[in-house]
Structure 1
């Protein structure tokens, strides 16, 4: 008589947004408890994941856990190999460098591949800079779009900002995007140069950190002095045009 083997589950485990903050401040107990039950992790960065698991006080010595970095985005073959133990019954956790795995993150392909293999995918509640920034912004939370990173080249970035502003005005839709921290000030300068003065701009930096910075005002009202607080810090930009 043949027996069917139940697969394990792929858990999407949010990690803290601020590496220096106490984990208990922004990591629900359910995430901590789930992580404690796992010994196999597919991660964006092994170093970052080990730091997260240490803050979560994983009961198993870190050197005894299997922590594997996710492959390049299009390497589906290797992902299927990494998920084979889960299909065979060993559950695993996906951990991003910060925030929710699978959102602007290589964990998305792990979840998609798991679905094609018939592996259950279980997301757990945790910090998301996108939702936290939107919550604090006062902008339209019923219609919004996240665009990830905008083009780096000046001309292409200016064109994209103009398109996003037009889309925001037409749909009354909040437009959200991020930038590499060391280019935050360049992004701010581009917004001031290419967006209308009446367009609302929210800047949300270092969310969940003790000195987080969240402020919304028209583009024309922002000053270079106050925006200095976002230099080289994880930042979310939000626009709402009239």
Structure 2
């Protein structure tokens, strides 16, 4: 089935509160103004985000279709198949489809012949890479590392080896309340000359961006508890 007249807009959202004017382009605002159907990772967050833009839209008149890691693919397929007008995809934070369940909607949209329209906006992964000084020619994002301490250490050793052999930046993240524990494990596991980049609170007033050898971090550890962080090694 083809819906060539329809479009699915990939709508970036903010990474930090009260940064709409700083990070959202007029094209993003225009797209949101024109739509009333949104596939969203979290309905409450999406409603709050659209309300914060003060576009005059009546939130209760909008349709929000939940799309998270637990949403059955068949449900998303059926929702896309029933579309009779354009829709948008909004992530919990940053760019939808990048380390985000919105990628499922994009894949299905292609199958249905719906045109996918990516819009420019903040991506914590790319912003962290831009600010790291590490290789931007070859890089890989791994999401969350294993929780198990033994498996986590093995994974870090594997990523460090990959970064050296391939000259490839390795990016990953952690649940904010476990950031400090991950940092401790990185400093215990990595070689002293391995470069470690930490990007915390990206785009916020409290933004912290720094890259140093592991040996230097040991005496300059920041408190990363409950802060959104992207870690990179290279």
For Structure 1 versus Structure 2, the TM-score category normalised by the shorter chain is over 0.9
Pick from 80, 83, 99 the counterpart of residue 83 of structure 1.
80
Query: Is the alpha carbon distance of 1:62 and 1:128 closer, same or farther for their aligned partners in structure 2, counting shifts above 3 Å?
Result: same
| Residue 56 (structure 1) shift | 2.1
Which digits, 9 at most, give the CA deviation of each residue in 1:75-103, with x for residues without a partner? 221111111233x3x11000001000011
Partner of 1:184: 179
Cross-structure match for 2:9: 11
Distance in 1 (alpha carbons) for counterparts of 2:4 and 2:15: 34
- Tell me, in whole angstroms, the C-alpha distance in 1 between the residues paired with 2:192 and 2:71: 41
Q: Deviations over 1:206-234 (max 9, x none)?
A: 00001100010001111466421x21100
RMSD between superposed Cα atoms in Å: 1.6
Tell me, in whole angstroms, the C-alpha distance in 1 between the residues paired with 2:191 and 2:104: 37
Instruction: Give the alignment partner of residue 232 of structure 1, picking from 195, 204, 226.
Output: 226
Whether 1:59 and 2:56 are equivalent positions in the alignment is yes
Deviation of 1:8 after TM superposition, in Å, equals: 1.4
Q: Deviations over 1:180-207 (max 9, x none)?
A: 1001001101101111010000000000
Match status 1:120 vs 2:111: no
Shift of 1:145: 0.6
Question: Which of 38, 41, 52 is 1:41 aligned to?
Answer: 38
CA 1:6–1:167 in structure 2 vs 1: closer, same or farther (change >3 Å)?
closer
State the partner residue of 2:87. 92
Structure 1 alignment gaps of length 5 or more? none
Aligned equivalents of 1:210 and 1:146: distance in 2?
A: 25
In structure 2, do the counterparts of structure 1 residues 72 and 7 end up closer, same or farther at CA, with 3 Å as the change threshold? farther
Alpha-carbon offset, residue 237 of structure 1: 0.1
Say whether the 8 Å CA contact 1:167–1:173 is kept in structure 2.
Answer: yes
Question: Are the aligned partners of 2:194 and 2:233 in contact in 1 as well (CA < 8 Å)?
Answer: yes
8 A contact 2:42–2:68 mirrored in 1: no
State how 1:161-180 maps to structure 2 within 5 Å: 161-180=156-175
Counterpart Cα distance in 1 of 2:108 and 2:75: 10
Which residue, 105, 113, 126 being the options, matches 1:110?
105
Task: Give the structure-2-normalised TM-score.
Answer: 0.95
Tell me the residue number matched to 1:31.
Answer: 28
Deviation at 1:5, TM superposition (A): 7.1
Tell me, which stretches of 5 or more residues in structure 2 are unaligned?
none
Contact between 2:3 and 2:114, CA under 8 Å: does it hold in 1? no
